[in-house]
Amino acid sequence: MRNKDSWVHIKSDSDFSIHNIPFGIFSTDNKSPRIGIAIGDEIVDLLEVWELGLFKPLLIPKEVFKNQFLNDFIALGKEKTNKVRVLIQKELLNTNSLLREKPTLLVKQENAMMYMPVFVRDYTDFYSSIEHATNVGKMFRDPENALLPNWKHIPVGYHGRASSIVVSGTNIHRPMGQILLPDSKNPVYSESKKIDFELEMGFIIGKNTSLGDTIKIDEAKEYIFGKVLFNDWSARDVQKWEYIPLGPFLSKNFASSISPWVVTMEALEPFRIAGPEQTPEVLPYLKYKGEKNYDIKLQVLLKPENKEEKIISNSNFKYMYWNMAQQISHHTMNGCNLSVGDMMGSGTISGKSPDSYGSMLELTWSGQKPLQLSEGVQRTFIEDHDTIIIKGYCEKEGVKVGFGVVKTKLLPSIK
């Protein structure tokens, strides 16, 4: 099965290959928001596929596809959502497909408006990269004891603000906050001077649980529908003042940005790999078998206004110390209930080398080592009208599965 086997033109390097088939919500000038599938530079309108009768054996109501969010579709369960994905994949390879008889069924991505793919009721952000946690610990605590005593025993996390998660292309404003200036005992109210990105991936919960339920480690994959790129914006100067004793609050909840296409776990299956060795040995409920990490190449670019973009980080999701199965198992070990569409952030993804760090905080070592973007242009943190672009993809033996981009411009504060 190759891209060129499809009757839809798909470039060889497209993120949205015949192997991918991700889901999202789109509209056009003459189409209301609805579910689509990305293929090459096109979108397959699943509402029109339903109208052709191809989904009739699956007994899926029309309203599921004519929807502003994927939640109802995801709630059908993997047995049905996987069948939809495989059916579309087969039809895109079938030169006699009924889909070819309805030209309005395919929409150019450049002509479509993309939306938040899911309604996020709850959002949890983890802190699961040992390289990132170690770097932060070295900067702000004891370089010889960078990790806190609990870090290698639990997937550390906190509950964030779901309402301020926005889709790629949504500009955000520099936040105001309380900041403690150097050599001062009292804070000031000011715009944040240290806005940062955090390179993360998000995964979307695909199955409800009830209060009191726990998810065993070997059951966790059934509760993950798919993944998106995730930029967890941070105001580092606000964070430094507020995070003791309860952690991030206003320094994080002003915005997080996600990519619009949800790549299913089935599409990512060929890219599973072993994770890093976990020492000391974890508690029994966190022990797992098999390959639970994923080889997903990640890239961050910074584009100043009216200037060329520049790659500032090349990282990989495979570096994560705590994997998604462990995160879900830990999240529910106390009976916390999950809902379809809930978002889980991986935490900042940093690699072992300085060019693979997942934040400006690390890349510039808290501003001590400015990044040179072009002649006469450098950055310690993100400036007004800068755009941060995050890309991600998997590639193996000629098979590519990508996530597209999450792209966000930082605008001046609203004072």
Residues known to be catalytic: 132
Give 56's contacts (C-beta < 8 A, 6+ positions apart).
none
- Residues listed for the chain: 415
Is there a contact between 252 and 164 (Cβ–Cβ < 8 Å)? Answer: no
Q: DSSP of 271-309, one letter per residue?
A: GEE-----SSPPPGGG---S--EE--EEEEEEE-TTS--
For residue 123, give every residue at least 6 positions away whose Cβ sits within 8 Å of its Cβ, in sequence order, or none: 159, 160, 161, 162, 165, 256, 342, 343, 344, 345
Beta strand 263-264 with 224-232 is antiparallel
Dig out the tokens for 290 from the structure: 């098999």
How many CB atoms neighbour CB 5 within 10 A?
Answer: 12
Cα–Cα dist 75/204, whole Å? 12
Sign of the CA dihedral 397, 390, 404, 155? Answer: positive
Rounded CA-CA distance 293/227 in Å is 13
Phi, psi of 111 (to 5 degrees): -100, 5
Answer positive or negative: Cα dihedral of 72, 78, 81, 85.
positive
Q: Produce one character per residue of 125-153: b if its CB has 16 or more CB atoms within 10 Å, e if not.
A: bbbbbbbbbbbbbbeeeeeeebbeeebbe
- Report cis status (omega within 30 of 0) of the bond before 155: no
Name the pairing type of β-strands 387-396 and 297-303: antiparallel
DSSP 132: H
